[in-house]
A and B are shown apart, each in its own frame.
Chain A
Amino acid sequence: QSALTQPASVSGSPGQSITISCTGTSSDVGAYNYVSWYQQHPGKAPKLMIYDVSNRPSGISNRFSGSKSGNTASLTISGLQAEDEADYYCSAHTASSTRVFGGGTKLTVL
Chain B
Amino acid sequence: QVQLVQSGGEVKKPGASVKVSCKASAYTFTSYYMHWVRQAPGQGLEWMGIINPSAGSTTYPQKFQGRVTLTRDTSTTTVYMELSSLTSEDTAVYYCTRGGLIYTDYARAFDYWGQGTLVTVSS
Closest partner residue, chain A, to B95 (CB atom):
A45
Per the bound structure, the CA–CA distance linking A106 and B35 in Å amounts to 24
User: How many Å from the CB of B89 to the closest CB on chain A?
Assistant: 16
> What are the residues of chain A within 8 A of B45 when measuring CB–CB?
38, 46, 89, 91, 101, 104
- Scan residues 25-54 of chain B and give those whose CB is less than 8 A from a CB of chain A: 35, 37, 44-47, 50
Task: Tell yes or no: B67 within 8 A of A by CB.
Answer: no
Interface centre among A3, A91, A99, by most B CB within 10 Å?
A: A99
Q: Which of A45, A57, A97, A103 has the most CB of B within 10 A?
A: A45
Question: Are A32 and B107 neighbours in the complex by a CB distance under 8 Å?
Answer: yes
- CB-defined A-B contacts under 8 Å, sample of 26: A3-B44, A32-B107, A38-B45, A38-B110, A45-B95, A45-B114, A45-B115, A45-B116, A46-B45, A46-B95, A46-B97, A46-B110, A46-B113, A52-B108, A52-B109, A57-B111, A91-B45, A91-B110, A93-B106, A97-B59, A98-B59, A98-B61, A99-B50, A101-B46, A102-B44, A104-B44
Contact B107 A93 (CB under 8 A): yes
In the assembled complex, the Cα of A47 lies from the Cα of B106 at a distance in Å of 19
Q: Are A48 and B109 in contact (CB under 8 A)?
A: yes
Which residues of A come within 8 Å of B, CB atoms? 1, 3, 32, 34, 36, 38, 45-48, 51-52, 57, 89, 91, 93, 97-104
Chain B contact residues, CB within 8 Å of chain A:
35, 37, 44-47, 50, 59, 61-62, 95, 97, 106-111, 113-116
Give the distance in Å from the alpha carbon of A38 to the alpha carbon of B44 in the complex: 12
